[in-house]
């Protein structure tokens, strides 16, 4: 009994200290809420009592609720631009801005548009931060770096989310996660219900032969819906194994075998995916620990291991196309991080630069090799490919990168990222847990559970160690306005619950 009393006293005392912290330190309450253990449990119990309007947010302890008696005003509420009400408690009433409008996929292209072969190569969990292509100290992917010199390299491309299940839907549909309605399910992976046009269907409808090569059972079974519209999905590299394994050579072998069959088709869409760099990180069979034995060292070795089969594929594509016009794009669904913030979880939990900065390289008849500094999102891949071959469809919201590739880009684009957990809808919670908005050199993060915001110069500080939210209020204000403008059209209701994440 004395032990229980002491435990309760410590919990209550800890919470009490947080309640009376000065405003500059009250975000500590949010940190407690996100932690595990007795203090987090105490916070949850306290929150049940202190949440006066039942919206899931507190007005104390960093909860961020600026209207504790109004359930429609809280950090997770969607802002209604220019209505003179601060619905999301960020201290501002946002106004719609031009950059918040949906993108385009029908920009003018030079000459007559030809429907030519398109090859999409995606690599799971490859972080630009760990690639020599983007200045990393180790030569982790030297062959890709050499080949990229003849392509258009986007120096600052980002995934939509920090995990495959959160990034592939935008890649495949050209829609933000908040625009994709899933079946109501507590499962972490659920199929979508409202997407008419996907990577496979838009190309198939345009008369393209559509084929894909999958690397493991997760893609072959769990998220097979991303291959909607593909006439043939080759599973020969899976070999009946479960889980993720190092089989890049098998994937390349299967891909080149299928290309031998379809290479003479006038127009085809061919998608190849690799998973060798994904967790769990372990040395490929027979490979030495070239860089060391920490998780980060082994990850770097995995990238080096992957570099060979990837180069074999890209060289094989070039050989089989034999001078024909075609498009190849290489990108990743998300990255991996090994800094102090990500010692336990290398992905899945935040939208940090280290986790979401990915490679993006285009080879096409539209441009010689160059690097561009425009910020981009993998949601832009589908509209770019459509634009290159003259395909149009409704409901595509990414923005074609063709003007940038042609050198005709203007303006300063905005990238919206979302940490969106669709299973939260079935649990009565808001599925949009976090957002990040990027423009030029800055990123504004927002935790929608407690309203906490962080601002970083992600180009100078890719590990996001220096929060500039207090030093650059004008930058934060501008990015905040862009965020709310995008969410004003990109967050579909789906009978959205009004509870905190």
Question: What are the residues facing 297 on neighbouring strands?
Answer: none
CA 350 to chain centre: 10
**How far apart are the C-alpha atoms of 210 and 223, rounded to whole Å?**
17
- Residue 380 confidence (pLDDT): 96
Query: What pLDDT does 111 receive?
Result: 75
The shares of helix, strand and coil residues in the chain, as percent rounded to the nearest 5, are 35, 15, 50
Looking at residue 450, its pLDDT comes to 82
- In 3D space, the residue among 357, 305, 308 whose CA is nearest the CA of residue 332 turns out to be 357
Cβ pair 101, 170 in contact under 8 A: no
Cβ within 8 Å of residue 93, ≥6 positions away: 79, 81, 82, 83, 84, 85, 86
Give the model's pLDDT for residue 98: 46
* 8 A C-beta contact, residue 436 and residue 443: yes
Instruction: Give Cβ neighbours of residue 8 (< 8 Å, ≥ 6 apart).
Output: none
Cα 266 to Cα 420: distance, rounded to the nearest angstrom: 39
Confidence at residue 33, expressed as pLDDT on a 0 to 100 scale: 57
Q: Helix, strand, or coil here: 211? A: strand
Q: Give this prediction's pTM.
A: 0.84
Q: What is the pLDDT along the chain (501 residues), one digit of tens a residue?
A: 566 666 566 556 655 555 555 544 445 555 555 555 666 667 667 776 777 776 667 777 666 677 877 777 777 666 666 676 877 776 666 555 444 567 889 998 887 678 999 999 999 999 999 999 999 999 999 999 999 999 999 999 999 999 888 999 999 999 999 998 887 777 767 777 667 899 999 999 999 999 999 988 777 787 788 899 999 999 998 875 544 567 889 999 999 999 999 999 999 999 999 988 877 777 766 777 788 878 889 899 999 999 999 999 999 999 999 999 999 999 999 988 777 775 555 555 789 999 999 999 999 999 989 999 999 999 999 999 999 999 999 889 999 999 999 998 767 789 999 999 888 888 888 899 999 999 989 999 999 888 899 999 999 999 999 999 999 999 999 999 999 889 988 888 665 544 555
Q: Report the C-alpha gap between 39 and 140 in whole angstroms.
A: 42
Rg of the chain's alpha carbons, rounded to an integer?
23
Residue from 362, 408, 417, 413 nearest 385 by CA: 362
| Predicted local distance difference test score (pLDDT) of residue 24 | 45
Beta carbons within 8 Å of 230's beta carbon, 6+ residues apart? 200, 204, 210, 211, 212, 271
- For residue 437, what are the β-bridge partners? 416, 444
3-state secondary structure at position 332:
strand
Residue ranges in 160-236 assigned as alpha helix (H) = 164-173, 199-205, 217
């Amino acid at each position: 009994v004395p032990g229980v009393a002491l435990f309760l006293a410590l919990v209550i005392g800890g919470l009490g200290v947080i309640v009376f912290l000065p405003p500059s330190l009250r975000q500590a309450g949010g940190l407690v809420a996100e932690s595990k253990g007795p203090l987090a449990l105490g916070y949850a119990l306290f929150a049940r009592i202190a949440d006066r309007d039942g919206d899931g947010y507190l007005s104390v302890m960093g909860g961020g609720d600026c209207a504790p008696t109004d359930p429609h005003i809280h950090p997770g509420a969607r802002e209604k631009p220019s209505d003179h009400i601060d619905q999301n408690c960020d201290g501002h009433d946002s106004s719609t801005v031009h950059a918040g409008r949906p993108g385009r996929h029908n920009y003018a292209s030079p000459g007559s548009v030809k429907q030519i072969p398109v090859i999409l190569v995606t690599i799971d969990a490859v972080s630009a931060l760990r690639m020599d292509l983007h200045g990393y100290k180790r030569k982790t992917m030297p062959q890709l770096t050499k080949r990229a010199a003849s392509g258009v390299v986007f120096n600052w491309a980002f995934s939509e989310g920090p995990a495959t299940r959160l990034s592939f839907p935008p890649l495949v549909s050209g829609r933000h996660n908040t625009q994709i309605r899933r079946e109501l399910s507590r499962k972490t992976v659920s199929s979508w219900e409202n997407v008419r046009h996907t990577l496979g269907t838009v190309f198939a409808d345009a008369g393209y032969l559509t084929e894909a090569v999958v690397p493991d059972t997760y893609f072959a079974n769990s998220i097979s819906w991303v291959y909607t519209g593909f006439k043939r999905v080759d599973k020969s590299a899976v070999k009946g194994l479960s889980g993720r394994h190092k089989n890049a050579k098998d994937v390349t072998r299967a891909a080149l075998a299928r290309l031998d069959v379809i290479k003479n088709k006038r127009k085809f869409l061919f998608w190849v995916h690799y998973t060798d760099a994904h967790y769990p990180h372990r040395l490929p069979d027979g490979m030495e620990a070239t860089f060391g034995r920490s998780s980060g060292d082994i990850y770097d070795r995995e990238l080096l291991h992957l570099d060979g089969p990837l180069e074999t594929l890209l060289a094989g594509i070039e050989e089989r196309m034999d001078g024909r016009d075609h498009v190849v794009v290489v990108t990743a669904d998300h990255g991996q991080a090994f800094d102090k913030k990500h010692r336990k979880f290398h992905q899945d939990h935040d939208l940090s630069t280290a986790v979401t900065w990915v490679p993006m390289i285009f080879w096409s008849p539209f441009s010689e090799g160059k690097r561009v500094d425009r910020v981009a999102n993998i949601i832009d891949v589908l509209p770019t490919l459509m634009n290159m071959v003259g395909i149009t469809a409704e409901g595509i919201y990414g923005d074609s990168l063709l003007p940038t590739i042609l050198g005709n880009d203007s303006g300063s684009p905005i990238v919206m990222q979302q940490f969106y957990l669709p299973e939260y809808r079935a649990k009565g919670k808001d599925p949009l847990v976090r957002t990040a908005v990027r423009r030029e050199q800055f990123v504004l993060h927002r935790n929608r559970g407690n309203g906490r915001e962080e601002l970083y110069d992600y180009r100078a500080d890719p590990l996001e160690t220096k929060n500039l939210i207090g030093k650059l209020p004008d930058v934060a204000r501008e990015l905040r306005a862009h965020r709310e403008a995008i969410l004003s059209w990109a967050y579909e209701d789906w009978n959205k619950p009004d509870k905190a994440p």
